[in-house]
């Protein structure tokens, strides 16, 4: 599958990172949603050498046929899904102009 689209955004707090990676083989789309958070060590833990760590909160894959209707509410991160839909519409518009 070929990389088609990628977007990363901060979540509700600066500690959270959300991303959507989309690959396609021309027949299907593979949408991978990833949400990462970070631990928040106390001052005492930091003094003893403890560092922040990334924690995987969500890692989900969805497969769709190219051309299928994409319902935003069917996916875990609606804002990122809307960005992908916007990307598809813009790609189709540019493709039809040629």
Q: What is the residue whose two structure tokens read 């930091």?
A: 46
Provide the 10 A C-beta neighbour count for residue 18. Answer: 20
Given 3-state DSSP classes, what are the helix, strand and coil percentages for the chain, each rounded to the nearest 5?
Answer: 30, 40, 30
Number of domains within the chain: 1
Do residues 49 and 43 lie in contact, with contact meaning Cβ atoms separated by under 8 Å?
no
Q: How far apart are CA 82 and CA 71, in angstroms?
A: 9
Do residues 33 and 51 lie in contact, with contact meaning Cβ atoms separated by under 8 Å?
no
Token pair of 94 as six digits:
């540019």
State which residues form the domain around 41. 2-97
- The mean pLDDT of 33-43, rounded to a whole number, is 94
pTM of the model: 0.85
For 24-35, how does the pLDDT look when each residue is reduced to its tens digit (9 = 90+)? 999 999 999 999
Task: Say which DSSP state 67 is in.
Answer: T
For 60-90, how does the pLDDT look when each residue is reduced to its tens digit (9 = 90+)? 999 999 989 999 999 999 999 999 999 999 9
Residue 97: pLDDT band with limits 50, 70, 90:
low
| Helices and strands, counts by H and E, the chain | 2, 4
- The mean pLDDT of 8-31, rounded to a whole number, is 93
């Amino acid at each position: 599958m070929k990389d088609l689209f990628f977007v990363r955004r901060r979540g509700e707090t600066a500690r959270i990172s959300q991303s959507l990676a989309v690959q396609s083989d021309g027949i299907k789309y593979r949408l991978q949603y990833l949400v990462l958070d970070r631990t928040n060590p106390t001052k005492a833990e930091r003094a003893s050498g403890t560092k922040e760590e990334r924690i995987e909160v969500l890692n989900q894959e969805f497969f769709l046929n190219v051309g299928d209707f994409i319902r935003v509410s069917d996916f875990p991160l609606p804002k990122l899904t809307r960005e992908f839909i916007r990307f598809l519409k813009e790609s189709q518009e540019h493709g039809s102009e040629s």
